[in-house]
């Protein structure tokens, strides 16, 4: 053997408000050590996926009896901690590398798991995941083959005001599967405040079983004083509760309870919870996922202005995914307890009690309702005082327990149209597109537009690895969005606008479109300008459909907010005026950029052709665009119909500026394509606000794969993108200032 020591792992579980607090102490007590005896590269701990507030404290003791010295305290985000979700684990990379001159080495890992419980609870089932296969752990640290070195101690503290009422420890049969672990009864202890369970390892080697779980079933009792104090608190709180009128909506996933009872939980249950679960409770007061039901509680005014539309949006999305759902609306009185919940994405907001909640749940889970929405009589009577109630039609009398009501079927499409009456969507800007672009350019002192053209093959290695480990549509959409988000956050101090190129999203199918939708929404929330590079157009009625898709404020037929709405779009004007007018008409605040002289080398094959009447094709296109946008000029003197002019052709830019003096120039080609700064200067005009350089690849991929092979990839990508964007803009602005 290279050395002699013992390894003990202690786990302590404590109950705190709405959570379980866990501390795992992994300790090595050293007796003899040689020079080549190492701490190990990484120490592995299996932790639940819902673990929060994770910290690790590294300590050493140089002599027996001396105090511990804290070497470091690490939180999530430090390089010493690496967390993975599949399987759920935490790797700790200690600062200490050798056992030399150390008597005791210790890692203290702490975290909290949301765990709703109350002071009157009498039964506690505590799941325990063994942190690592003990023998494998020892072998990986070069610890030899001794049979007596490996042990683990679990300490479970009773909740405040409770006493454990146990005579012996009862385990589930999962321990039998952990064939290399034994319970050491001589080391176990039981008293009213603390239960200790000791395990030791045996056998030559233990295979990894990260998902094995042992459950301890521990009954508890409360003393009379604690119970009476709790009753007094409940009575006092009840007297202080505010009784208020609330609107209740419940959506139920039909059939899932029955299938879960027989051990066949439906695969769509988790997806259903993810759709209805919210991190942000607005515009509701409570959103709670209870099993296969989503409970939503709202005040009347927010419900009418925003809540109804959002509920319908979530409901129709669930229908689109094929979920077998039903739901119901109710209105009545409920008591607000004053307590709040923030438990992940499945429960947030205030706690409510009362008949309104109970009756709303009964209406939403009415078994005779196969697959539609219902409204109770109370809700319909209340709704018709506020809105047109033609979406409701009487269905049947119903007795739900001891409560009777008339139930009404809901025409979802009609209700959706009614909901738009007071819907408050994403904030709009009071000025036209050209004025917004010029104002933004002046604010940030920039003329740079950042292109968002995702190519997953060029993404950070960390993201590529995530895709290989979980190649699903949802994960691909999330990876693309996270990359865009890192670029946006890093460059928004210098970017005038962002230009996602539609083709780079369309190539990934629905995953790409979902990522584009999330990206557009993220940009609009921060009031950043979005220019979609799509080069759309066709004959008039098809052009109108393109315009509806990307520029309208709401969707046709469904009248739902258009989550794809952008601030401007690139179009192809070669179909003439009737292909451009639909884009101009659909949204008076939106901007257009018509292709004139593109940046690619072969553009001259058509665009540079001479016309019989004189001039080139691209000059004719610019002249027509100048006419089409003559009536839509903003306060700063620029039309909302601009031109796409490649930064690779300075002479062409100079001629185009004379032809279309009021057009904003979107100028791609700067960076990888070698765009000419002189071209940008020629297009900028006398006030230097008429031209905007667009760059994609040189900003997006200004890093090396080796730099991004860890979970700090976002910092590496962001720093490279920010620096490149600032450098490009500095060069452009320097040229523009020299021309004034």
Query: Across residues 50-63, what is the average pLDDT?
Result: 89
Output the domain CATH number for residue 193. Answer: 2.60.40
Q: Which residue segment(s) compose the domain that 719 sits in? A: 458-739
pLDDT of residue 145: 42
Task: Point out the domain boundary residue: 158, 193, 221.
Answer: 221
pLDDT of residue 144: 43
Rounded to whole angstroms, the Cα distance separating 325 from 644 reads 48
pLDDT in tens, 204-221: 444 444 445 555 666 667
Chain centre distance of CA 484: 13
Q: Are residues 39 and 155 in the same domain?
A: yes
Q: How far is CA 387 from CA 308, 323, 400, 439, 464, in A?
A: 12, 29, 27, 40, 51
pLDDT in tens, 308-365: 988 988 888 788 777 888 999 999 998 887 777 654 456 788 888 888 999 999 999 8
The reply to whether 233 falls in a domain is no
Among the listed residues 663, 658, 722, the one whose alpha carbon sits nearest the alpha carbon of residue 691: 663
**Residue 62 and residue 103 in contact, taking contact as beta carbons nearer than 8 Å:** yes
For 17-115, list the strands marked E by DSSP: 19-33, 43-46, 52-61, 69-75, 81-85, 88-92, 104-114
DSSP state of 183: E
Task: Point out the domain boundary residue: 190, 221, 252.
Answer: 221
Q: Which residue has the higher pLDDT, 673 or 501?
A: 501
pLDDT of residue 422: 38
pLDDT in tens, 263-307: 455 566 777 877 787 656 778 988 888 878 899 999 999 898 888
Q: Are residues 189 and 45 in the same domain?
A: yes
Query: Across residues 86-99, what is the average pLDDT?
Result: 82
Q: Are residues 83 and 208 in the same domain?
A: yes
Phi/psi of residue 429, each to 5°? -95, 145
pLDDT in tens, 98-137: 888 888 999 999 998 877 665 555 555 565 555 444 445 5
Query: Across residues 531-542, what is the average pLDDT?
Result: 91
Q: Are residues 214 and 246 in the same domain?
A: no
Q: Are residues 50 and 194 in the same domain?
A: yes
Above 90 in pLDDT, residue 388? no
Mean pLDDT of the chain: 81
Query: Across residues 440-456, what is the average pLDDT?
Result: 93
Phi/psi of residue 64, each to 5°? -60, 130
Neighbours of 606 (CB within 10 A): 12
Residue 359 belongs to what H/E stretch?
A: helix 355-364
pLDDT of residue 341: 60
The reply to whether 576 falls in a domain is yes
535 is catalytic: yes
The reply to whether 712 falls in a domain is yes
pLDDT of residue 262: 45
The reply to whether 429 falls in a domain is no
Q: Which residue has the higher pLDDT, 134 or 418?
A: 418
The reply to whether 127 falls in a domain is yes
Output the domain CATH number for residue 598. Answer: 3.20.20.70
Q: Edge-to-edge strands of the sheet including 123-129?
A: 123-129, 213-222, 162-164
Alpha-carbon dihedral of residues 300, 304, 310, 313, nearest 10 degrees? 130
Q: Are residues 315 and 346 in the same domain?
A: yes
Q: How far is CA 194 from CA 339, 439, 664, in A?
A: 29, 66, 74
196, 492, 535, 654: the active-site residue: 535
Query: Across residues 704-733, what is the average pLDDT?
Result: 88
Task: Point out the domain boundary residue: 168, 189, 221.
Answer: 221
Among the listed residues 517, 502, 507, 510, the one whose alpha carbon sits nearest the alpha carbon of residue 474: 510
Q: Are residues 383 and 247 in the same domain?
A: yes
The reply to whether 445 falls in a domain is no
The reply to whether 437 falls in a domain is no
Rounded to whole angstroms, the Cα distance separating 71 from 74 reads 10
Output the domain CATH number for residue 256. Answer: 3.30.70.1230
Rounded to whole angstroms, the Cα distance separating 488 from 396 reads 54
Rounded to whole angstroms, the Cα distance separating 179 from 563 reads 54
pLDDT in tens, 632-666: 898 889 999 999 999 888 899 999 999 999 999 99
Q: Are residues 530 and 631 in the same domain?
A: yes
For residue 98, the SS3 value is strand
Q: Are residues 281 and 207 in the same domain?
A: no
Rounded to whole angstroms, the Cα distance separating 411 from 383 reads 14
Q: Three-class SS string for 441-469?
A: HHHHCCCEEEEECCCHHHCCHHHHHHHHH
CA-based angle 354:355:359, to the nearest 5?
135
Among the listed ranges 19-23, 358-362, 690-694, which one has the minimum average pLDDT value? 19-23
Rounded to whole angstroms, the Cα distance separating 61 from 681 reads 67
Rounded to whole angstroms, the Cα distance separating 11 from 195 reads 12
Query: Across residues 175-193, what is the average pLDDT?
Result: 63
pLDDT of residue 426: 38
The reply to whether 450 falls in a domain is no
pLDDT of residue 206: 43
Q: How far is CA 512 from CA 319, 349, 515, 521, in A?
A: 22, 33, 5, 14
How many distinct structural domains can be found in the chain? 3
User: CA neighbours within 13 Å on the CB side: how many for 130?
Assistant: 30
Q: Are residues 217 and 248 in the same domain?
A: no
Q: Are residues 114 and 162 in the same domain?
A: yes
DSSP labels for 617-669? HHHHHHHHHHHHTTT-B-TTS-BSEEEEE-TT-HHHHHHHHHH-TTPPEEEE-
**Residue 12 and residue 112 in contact, taking contact as beta carbons nearer than 8 Å:** no
- Tell me the residue length of the chain: 740
Rounded to whole angstroms, the Cα distance separating 302 from 520 reads 25
Q: Are residues 164 and 22 in the same domain?
A: yes
Cross-strand pairs, 265: none
Rounded to whole angstroms, the Cα distance separating 236 from 738 reads 75
* Pairing assessment for the beta strands 531-536 and 568-571 based on DSSP bridges: parallel
Above 80 in pLDDT, residue 427? no
Q: Which residue has the higher pLDDT, 366 or 6?
A: 366
Question: Percent of the chain scored above 90 by pLDDT?
Answer: 32
């Amino acid at each position: 053997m290279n050395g002699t020591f013992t390894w003990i792992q202690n786990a302590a579980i404590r109950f705190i408000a709405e959570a379980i607090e866990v501390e795992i102490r992994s300790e090595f007590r050293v007796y003899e050590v040689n020079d080549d005896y190492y701490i190990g590269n990484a120490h592995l701990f299996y932790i639940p996926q819902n673990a929060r507030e994770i910290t690790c404290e590294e300590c050493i003791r140089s002599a027996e009896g001396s105090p511990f010295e804290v070497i470091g305290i690490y939180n999530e985000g430090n390089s010493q901690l690496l967390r993975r979700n599949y399987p759920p684990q935490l790797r700790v990379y200690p600062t200490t590398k050798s056992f030399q001159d150390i008597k005791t080495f210790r890692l203290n890992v702490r975290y909290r798991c949301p765990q709703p419980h109350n002071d009157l609870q009498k039964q506690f089932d505590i799941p325990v995941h063994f942190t690592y296969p003990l023998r494998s752990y020892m072998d990986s640290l070069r610890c030899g083959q001794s049979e007596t070195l490996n042990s683990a101690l679990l300490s479970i503290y009773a909740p405040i005001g409770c006493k454990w009422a146990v005579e012996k420890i009862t385990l589930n049969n999962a321990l039998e599967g952990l064939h290399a672990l034994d319970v050491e009864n001589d080391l176990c202890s039981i008293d009213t405040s603390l239960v200790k369970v000791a395990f030791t390892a045996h056998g030559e080697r233990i295979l990894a079983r990260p998902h094995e779980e042992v459950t301890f079933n521990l009954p508890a009792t409360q003393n009379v004083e604690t119970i009476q104090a709790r009753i007094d608190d409940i009575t006092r709180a009840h007297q202080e509760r505010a009784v208020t009128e609330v609107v209740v909506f419940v959506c139920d996933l039909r059939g899932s309870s029955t299938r879960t009872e027989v051990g066949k939980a439906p695969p769509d249950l988790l997806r259903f919870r993810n759709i209805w679960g919210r991190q942000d409770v607005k515009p509701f007061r409570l959103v709670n996922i209870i099993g296969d039901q989503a409970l939503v509680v709202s005040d009347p005014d927010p419900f009418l202005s925003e809540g109804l539309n959002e509920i319908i949006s979530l409901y129709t999305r669930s229908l689109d995914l094929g979920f077998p759902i039903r739901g119901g609306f109710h209105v009545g009185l409920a008591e607000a307890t004053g307590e709040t919940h923030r438990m992940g994405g499945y429960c947030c907001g205030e706690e409510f009690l009362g008949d309104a909640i109970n009756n709303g749940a009964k209406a939403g889970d009415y078994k005779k309702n196969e697959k539609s929405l219902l409204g109770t009589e109370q809700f319909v009577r209340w709704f018709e005082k506020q809105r047109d109630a033609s979406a409701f039609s009487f269905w049947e009398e119903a007795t739900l327990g001891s409560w009777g009501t008339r139930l009404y079927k809901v025409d979802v499409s009609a209700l959706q149209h009614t909901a738009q009456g007071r819907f408050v969507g994403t904030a709009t800007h009071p000025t036209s597109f050209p004025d917004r672009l010029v104002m933004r350019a002046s604010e940030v002192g920039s003329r740079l537009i950042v292109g968002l053209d995702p190519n997953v093959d060029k993404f950070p290695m960390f993201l590529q690895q995530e895709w290989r480990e979980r190649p699903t549509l949802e994960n691909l959409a999330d990876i693309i969005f996270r990359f865009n988000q890192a670029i946006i956050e890093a460059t928004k101090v210098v970017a005038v606008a962002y230009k996602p190129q539609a083709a780079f999203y369309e190539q990934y199918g629905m995953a790409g479109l979902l990522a584009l939708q999330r990206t557009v929404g993220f940009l609009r929330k921060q009031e950043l300008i979005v220019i979609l590079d799509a080069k759309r157009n066709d004959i008039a009625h098809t052009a109108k459909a393109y315009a509806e898709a990307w520029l309208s404020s709401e969707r046709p037929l469904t009248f739902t907010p258009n989550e794809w709405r952008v601030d401007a779009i690139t179009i192809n004007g070669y179909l003439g005026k009737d292909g451009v007018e639909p884009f101009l008409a659909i949204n008076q605040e939106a901007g257009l950029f018509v292709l004139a002289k593109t940046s690619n080398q072969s553009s001259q094959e058509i665009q540079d052709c001479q016309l019989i009447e004189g001039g080139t094709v691209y000059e004719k296109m610019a002249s027509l665009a100048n006419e089409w946008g003559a009536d839509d000029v903003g306060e700063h003197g620029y039309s909302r119909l601009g031109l796409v002019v490649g930064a690779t052709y300075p002479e062409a830019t100079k001629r185009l500026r004379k032809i279309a003096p009021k057009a904003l120039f979107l100028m791609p080609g700067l960076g990888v394509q070698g765009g000419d700064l002189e071209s940008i200067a020629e297009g900028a005009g006398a006030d230097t606000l008429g031209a905007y350089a667009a760059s994609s690849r040189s900003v997006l991929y200004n890093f090396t794969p080796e730099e991004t092979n860890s979970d700090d990839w976002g910092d590496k990508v962001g720093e490279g993108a920010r620096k490149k964007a600032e450098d490009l803009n500095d060069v452009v602005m320097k040229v523009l200032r020299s021309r004034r």
